[in-house]
Amino acid sequence: MRNSFANQLPASRPFGIDNLDINATVTVRIATPQDIPEMIRLERQCSTAAHWTDQQYGSLWAAQERSTRLALIAERGMSAASGDLIPTLIGFLVARHLAPEWELENIVVAPDSRRSGIGTRLMEELLARAKQTNSDAVFLEVRESNAAAQAVYHKLDFKQIGCRKSYYANPIEDAILYSKPLRTNLTRP
Of the pLDDT bands very low, low, confident and very high (cuts 50, 70, 90), residue 47 is: confident
Q: Please, how many CA atoms are within 13 Å of residue 127, restricted to the half-sphere of its CB?
A: 16
Q: Say yes or no to pLDDT of 108 above 80.
A: yes
Within a domain: 187: no
Range of the structural domain that residue 13 is part of: 6-181
Residues forming beta bridges with residue 97, ordered by sequence position: 102
> Does residue 99 sit within a domain?
yes
Structural domain includes residue 150: yes
Residue 158 included in any domain: yes
Of 22-36, 89-103, 126-140, the poorest mean pLDDT is in: 22-36
Average of per-residue pLDDT values in the chain: 84
Q: Which helix (H) or strand (E) segment is 139 a member of?
A: strand 137-143
Residue-level pLDDT at 91:
97
- What pLDDT band is residue 80 in, cutting at 50, 70 and 90? low
Q: Whole-prediction pTM value?
A: 0.81
CATH of residue 93's domain is 3.40.630.30
Q: Structurally, how many domains does the chain consist of?
A: 1
In a domain? residue 55 = yes
Average pLDDT rounded to a whole number, residues 57-85: 81
Nearest to 16 by CA among 7, 28, 5: 28
Helix (H), strand (E) at residue 98: strand 85-98
| Per-residue pLDDT, 9 | 37
